Amino acid sequence: MKSGEKLVLGIEGTAWNLSAAVVSMKGVIAEAESTYTPPSGGIHPREAAQHHSANIGEVLDRVFNTASSEGVLPEDLSAVAFSQGPGLGPCLRTVATSARALSLTLGIPLIGVNHCVAHIEVGRWNCGMRDPVVLYVSGANSQVIAYRRGRYRVFGETLDISIGNALDKFARYVGLQHPGGPKVEKLAEPAEEYVPLPYVVKGMDFSFSGLATAARDAFDAGAPLGNVCRSFQETAFSMLVEVGERALAHCGKSEMLLVGGVAANRRLNEMLSLMCEDRGARFDTPEDRFVRDNGAMIAITGLIMLENGITTPVEASAVNPNYRTDEVEVTWID
Ligand code: AMP
Ligand code: MG
C-alpha cells in the first residue's frame, strides 16, 4: 500500500448497473461494472438481481485486479461500502450479501450507504462544492435537496413518477428503446415548435405523470415526434428549474448541483446554468462517469462516513428499498 490514506471499496447495485470501485479521497483507483439491459420494456427487478448475482464475482475480480496493478491489495482496504437503498429489493439484497461476506472475510467495517446521498456526495466531491442546493433527477427519483441542521432535507419532489421514468415511459410508448431520455434529447434538438403540455408545480413539488400522458396524446393526435420531445423537455425542465430557483432563494445558498442520470441532458444543464447566472449562483454537474449510477459514488460516501466514525454493524445492514434521503444523519457538513 502507498501512503497511509484510507481506501474504501464501494459496490453499487440498486437497479440496472452493478458497479464496484476502490477509491481514496484523491480519486478512483480501480473501477469495474456490468450493466443489465432489459431485453424489452423496463427493468424487471428479479431479472436485474439475477444479472447482478451472475456477474458480481467477475466484477469484483476485475476491480481487485486493477487495484492490485495500482499497488492496492484487498488487505489494504479500510472498509466495504454498499448501496443499502433505495432501490429494487432483489438487487439490493444481492449486493448487500456480497458486501457482508467481503467485510467479514477481510475483517474490515461494513458501511451501508444511501444511494441518493451518494449521488450528492460524489457530486460535491467531484465539483468541489460545499453546501449546494441539489437537483437530483434520475430513473427513480426527482428531488430538490439542501442540507440543513444535520440532514439533507427534501424541499421538493415529484408527487408521482420521476422525470427519468416519465421520459422512459413516453419513449417506450413511441417505440424508442430503453433508456429513453437520451433519445428524447436527440429528437428534441432540431425541433422548433412547442406543443402545449401541462405544467404542474404545487408549492415546492412537481408531477410528471400527467405530462407523460398528454405527450402521448399529442403524439397520437399527429404532432411530430420531435416537437413533442422538445415540448416535453421544455415543460418538465422548466418545472425543475422553478423549484430549484425557489430553493436557492429561500435557503440563501449560492451553489446548485445537478446529479442523477438525467443530469446528462444538455438542455437541462443550459436552463439551470442560465438561471444560476441570473442569480449569481455557481452551477455545476459532475463528470458523466460520476453522474450515472456508479460504484465510486458509494465508495466516496463510505469513505466520508468512515472518516466521520460511521460504520454499519452486520445486524443493522438489512437493505431498505424505501430508504429516504432525509433519514440519513449527516455529520460531515458543519
Ligand atoms: P439513473 O437512475 O441515475 O441511473 O438515471 C437513469 C435515467 O436517466 C433514465 O431514466 C434515463 O432515461 C435518464 N437519462 C440518461 N441520459 C439522459 C439524457 N441525456 N437526457 C434525459 N434523460 C437521460
Ligand atoms: Mg441513481
What is the number of domains present in the chain? 2
For residue 178, give the ligand 1 atom closest to its CA: 12
For residues 152 and 234, state if they share a domain: yes
158-196: pLDDT as tens digits: 999 999 999 999 999 999 988 899 999 999 999 999 999
Ligand 1 pocket, CB under 6 A: 138-140, 164, 167-168, 179-182, 185, 260-262, 264-265, 292-293
For residues 79 and 164, state if they share a domain: no
Residue 1 has pLDDT above 60, yes or no: no
For residues 184 and 44, state if they share a domain: no
For residues 27 and 78, state if they share a domain: yes
Residue 143 pLDDT: 96
- Is 124 contained in some domain? no
CA distance 197 to 327: 35
Q: How many residues does the chain have?
A: 334
Give the pLDDT band of residue 236 (cuts 50, 70, 90). Answer: very high
Residue 16 pLDDT: 87
Residue 4 pLDDT: 79
- Is 180 contained in some domain? yes
For residues 74 and 170, state if they share a domain: no
Give backbone dihedrals phi and psi of 157, rounded to 5 degrees, phi first.
-160, 175
- The C-alpha cell of 283 is what? 452551477
Residue 117 pLDDT: 97
Residue 108 has pLDDT above 90, yes or no: yes
Nearest to 152 by CA among 21, 334, 284, 283: 334
For residue 171, give the ligand 1 atom closest to its CA: 12
Residue 39 pLDDT: 79
For residues 282 and 297, state if they share a domain: no
Residue 40 has pLDDT above 90, yes or no: no
CA distance 191 to 43: 30
Residue 3 pLDDT: 65
In this structure, which residue's CA is closest to atom 21 in ligand 1?
181
For residues 308 and 268, state if they share a domain: no
Residues having C-beta closer than 5 Å to ion ligand 2: 138, 293
- Cα(255) to ligand 2 centroid in Å equals 21
Our separate counts of H helices and E strands in the chain read 10, 12
The CATH number of residue 183's host domain is: 3.30.420.40
In this structure, which residue's CA is closest to atom 5 in ligand 1?
261
Domain that holds residue 156: 131-286
For residue 185, give the ligand 1 atom closest to its CA: 20
The reported pTM is: 0.93
